[in-house]
Amino acid sequence: MANFALQLKNITKAYGETPVLKGINVDAEEGEFVVLLGPSGCGKSTLLHAIAGLHPIDSGDIIIEGKSVAGMPTRDRDVAMVFQSYALYPNMTVAQNIGFPLRMRKMPASEIAIRVAEVAKLLQIEPLLQRRPRELSGGQRQRVAIGRALVRDPKVFLFDEPLSNLDATLRVETRSEIKRLHAQLGKTMIYVTHDQIEAMTLATKIVVMNKGDIQQIGTPHEVYHRPANLFVARFVGSPTMQMFAGTLASNASGVVFDDGKGWSVPVPNADNTAVGKSVFLGLRPEHIALAPAGSGEMATVDAVEPTGPEDNVVLTIRGQKAIARFPTGSVEANTSVAVMLDLAKASLFAADSGLRLN
């Protein structure tokens, strides 16, 4: 049987009349890196704070290593949280800030000194130990905040958008640092973000949330390549997956996507059960390639957005919008190009329910 570090069982919470968590079920195995991903306001911070015991829940249970903690105060839950705002004590040195949770637990000073030194080494902040927070950069402050969580060696680490106050370069550096720490320590981590790249790069398991509900739980690979519904398909991936509206039909070659205007193409990975349904056929940018003139589909180039190595290219194909990613400078706006669509990789969603069909 799997060894669960954390189990969330049917958690609900409302603020007044407004439900914010609508029955959340998540299991985190020992050592997993679970990312709660969703747009602003979807309830992910509320959920993280509920795990930490900072906010009560209305119903459901929170189980850490087999024991219900739902009624317990934060200090008894054996979790440590890293916040977006580093929340360091300005008058304490880095060493004192890191050692603070241990002093609160009345650990002997000699032992605290050893633990602080270990954590400082792990985070490579030994030269900073005697500084005050104001003498640190934002990235260094966030390392100290992470150190303060690490020093306690809790059962579960909770991260609440820890990178959002850092500039782009530091964000990438600190992200790698957190990933390294996870690999090195093998600790269970629960991490909240609205940034799908952060989720993709860090998670072993992504929980995609929207409006207080879970939309999908899966590995980064599953969430990206097999989104469970239209919401996940559009939320994960940049530029986002574009949808072609049509219906599914069948002919001699198997299941085909029909746009109702004379365009009918085989969809190799669809089965017969969905034939007759109104659908959205989703293609990611990498599923559209330039084709030799005279082959493939004709597309008009509506816009070209350079990103450096590649251009994001907004196309119209058969009257519907698509976005491709082509090598820099390969196409120009307001021209026509031939493109090849990799329909074997297409995602199909029911137009009515939004649910994945293939």
**Contacts with ligand ADP, residue ranges (CB under 6 A):** 15, 20, 38, 40-46
How far apart are alpha carbons 142 and 254 in whole angstroms? Answer: 55
Q: Would you say 79 and 52 are in contact if contact means Cβ atoms under 8 Å apart?
A: yes
The CB-of-117 to ligand ADP minimum distance in angstroms stands at: 35
* Residue count of the chain: 358
Structure tokens at 160: 């609440």
Comparing every residue's Cβ against ligand ADP, the nearest one is 45
Nearest residue (CB) to ligand ADP, 147 versus 212: 212
**Quick one: 26 or 102, whose CB is closer to ligand ADP?**
26
Q: Is 334 exposed, middle or buried (0-12, 13-18, 19+ CB in 10 A)?
A: exposed
The DSSP result for 93-138, as a single string, is: -HHHHHHHHHHHTT--HHHHHHHHHHHHHHTT-GGGTTS-GGGS-H
β-partners of residue 6 are: 28, 64
Q: How far is the CB of 13 from ligand ADP (least distance, A)?
A: 8
Q: Name which of 44 and 115 has its Cβ closer to ligand ADP.
A: 44
CB of 218 to ligand ADP, least distance (A): 19
Q: Least distance in Å: CB of 270 to ligand ADP?
A: 34
CB of 160 to ligand ADP, least distance (A): 8
Query: Are 225 and 190 in contact, with CB atoms under 8 Å apart?
Result: no
Residue 211: CB minimum distance to ligand ADP, A:
9
Cα 64 to Cα 13, 51, 104: the distances in Å are 19, 9, 22
DSSP secondary structure, 245-314, as one string: EEEEEEETTEEEEE-SSS-EEE-TT--GGGTT-EEEEEE-GGGEEE--TTSSEEEEEEEEEE-SSEEEEE
Question: Shortest approach of ligand ADP to residue 38 CB, angstroms?
Answer: 6
- 52/299 with CB nearer ligand ADP: 52
The minimum distance between CB 194 and ligand ADP, in angstroms, equals 7
Q: In which element (H, E) is residue 91 found?
A: none
Least distance to ligand ADP, CB of residue 289, Å = 36
Instruction: Collapse the DSSP code of 216 into the 3-class scheme (helix H, G, I; strand E, B; otherwise coil) and give the result.
Output: strand
SS3 label, residue 229: strand
Going 301 to 306 to 307 to 311, the CA torsion angle's sign is positive
**CA 206, 76, 100 angle in degrees (round to 5)?**
90
Q: Closer to ligand ADP by CB, 21 or 274: give it.
A: 21
